[in-house]
Amino acid sequence: MTPNDAIAFSIGIPLLATLLILLNRQYPNIREFVTMVMSASLFLTVLNILPSVMQGARPSVKFLEFFPGISLGFEVEPLGMLFALIASGLWIVTTFYSIGYMRNHHEKNQSRFYACFAIAISSTMGICFSGNMLTLFIFYEMLTLSTYPLVAHHQTPEAKNAGRVYLGILISTSIGFLLLAILWTWILTGTLDFKNGGILADKVDGPIAGILLFLYVYGIGKAALMPIHRWLPAAMVAPTPVSALLHAVAVVKAGVFSLVKVIVYIFGTDFLTNINQDDWLMYIAAFTVISASCVALKKNNLKARLAYSTISQLAYIILGAALATSAGILGSGLHIAMHAFGKITLFFCAGAILVAAHKTEISEMDGLGRRMPFTFLAFLIGSMSVIGLPPMGGAWSKWYLMVGSAEAGFIIFIIVLAVSSLLNVAYLLPIVGRAFFRPLKFVEPTNSNDRKIVIKEAPGFCLLAMGITSFGCIVLFFYADKIVKFLTPLIKISGQ
């Protein structure tokens, strides 16, 4: 299989998985086996593209031509390659986790869940490998539509309302802002292709470029930058594997990934630095970093706390890209990977606690660490990565973001990142502390025979997934230099 062929197969394999899942919806074991095989096949297919990208090649393929020079086109560059590896690899892990969670939590409509999940992965692959803004927009919308049934999965009034908020905000911003920005860009430049150094330089003056940047930033609502972040906490009503998809595997990562691509390949970092039209974005990102962390501190519901933590962490990536410095761009790319593994670990733990102990509120988790030591150890590892403590991967991405702030001459953002890390400590580590060092706060329930049901660890599939992602947090610390080297072309193309 050539790398060019692998691009098409990467998008097609999850769609084939969707068909096979629906055909076997009456046979859960076959359905889940199909999901596992297809997720592994996708990862191997994506790996097939990696060697050529590492050698400097840019595999590409084009299909439909909508207008002269504008087609459904795909091209693989380093940032998209990294995102594709993360999303396809974590689909395997999330599949294992979903089997343990969905069965033991007795979730309904499981076939629909697996099918929509597969479509979302296909959409994500399309975003990863998009060669122009129109292609990215098409798959961006596909991702929104395919994840809506997952958000509203439980079909309760709360879930339906969350689905409406989710769909309403993401569709309205993409149609109202992003599509307008894309059309405007085409009128100004005559192209929508992702080009080294950007396509807007010498095509537009500073103020117009600033307006365009605003439209792109708030048109890509999946990046959850304040004040259009409300859809993300609302979506936490969904099953935990969906939360993992939203926060780590696909949705929000698709948002910040798209923003980084727009800054690097549509505007160009040199152009943004010269016109000085992105300072407002840095300050809004910094405000989001701190304010979302403060809100997280006040949340007693574990998934709600993690949701606001994600909003804050996404703003790290946006801040790094807006700095438009070498270290800032590298820090943004690194943080996409580091946050994916750290945050998916935390959500896996939250789901395990729900399945095993039926607890969702942090105040109810006193002493649970003695009953579920593996789960809370994994939670500690994920927390340390999100905080940025060695030897976890998050330490390196935060370091590069601080260096990027220094390169741009913004000492204030170094302070923001440091304060945010302290807030991360304040809202994450006490959860582990009360789980291990406080007495069990509740009486364990009894069964129909009046025998006490002792709380124990979640099902094995859940533990396996948590173990893999926790290990990934540590491995990324020691291989961060490899990722930095792989992403270096992002800064070379701008002459930095």
- How many domains is the chain partitioned into structurally? 1
User: Is residue 460 domain-resident?
Assistant: yes
* SS3 category, 69: coil
pLDDT at residue 495, rounded to an integer:
45
User: Is residue 472 domain-resident?
Assistant: yes
**Residue where the block lists tokens 């207008």:** 67
How is the chain split among helix, strand and coil, in percent rounded to 5? 75, 5, 20
Q: What backbone torsions phi and psi does residue 442 show, to the nearest 5 degrees?
A: -130, 160
Q: What backbone torsions phi and psi does residue 196 show, to the nearest 5 degrees?
A: -60, 125
Axis crossing angle, helix 302-323 with helix 411-437, rounded to the nearest 10: 160
**Does the CA dihedral 321-323-329-332 come out positive or negative?**
negative
Q: What is the largest CA-CA distance in the chain?
A: 78
- CA–CA gap between residue 127 and residue 14 (Å, rounded): 14
The one-letter amino acid code at 260 reads V
* Cβ(455)–Cβ(376) below 8 Å: no
User: Is residue 272 domain-resident?
Assistant: no
User: Is residue 419 domain-resident?
Assistant: yes
- CA–CA gap between residue 304 and residue 372 (Å, rounded): 21
Q: What backbone torsions phi and psi does residue 452 show, to the nearest 5 degrees?
A: -65, 135
Indicate the helix (H) or strand (E) that contains 61. Answer: strand 60-67
* SS3 category, 64: strand
Q: Residue 444: how many CB atoms within 10 A of its CB?
A: 11
Q: What backbone torsions phi and psi does residue 437 show, to the nearest 5 degrees?
A: -110, -5
The one-letter amino acid code at 208 reads I
- CA–CA gap between residue 283 and residue 327 (Å, rounded): 18
User: Is residue 166 domain-resident?
Assistant: no
Domain hosting residue 328, numbered range: 278-496
User: Is residue 441 domain-resident?
Assistant: yes
DSSP 383: H
**DSSP character string of 462-476:** HHHHHHHHHHHHHHH
**What is the pLDDT tens value at each position of the chain, 496 positions in all?**
898 889 999 999 999 999 999 999 888 899 999 999 999 999 999 999 999 999 989 998 888 877 777 888 899 999 999 999 999 999 999 998 888 888 877 778 888 889 999 999 999 999 999 999 999 999 999 999 999 998 888 888 988 898 899 999 999 999 999 999 999 999 998 889 998 888 888 888 878 888 999 999 999 999 889 998 888 888 888 787 887 777 777 888 899 999 999 999 999 888 888 877 778 899 999 999 999 999 999 999 998 999 999 999 999 999 999 998 899 999 999 999 999 999 999 999 998 898 888 888 999 888 888 889 999 999 999 999 999 999 999 999 999 999 999 998 899 999 999 999 999 999 999 999 999 988 887 655 555 555 556 678 888 888 999 999 999 999 999 999 999 999 998 876 544 4
User: Is residue 98 domain-resident?
Assistant: no
User: Is residue 248 domain-resident?
Assistant: no
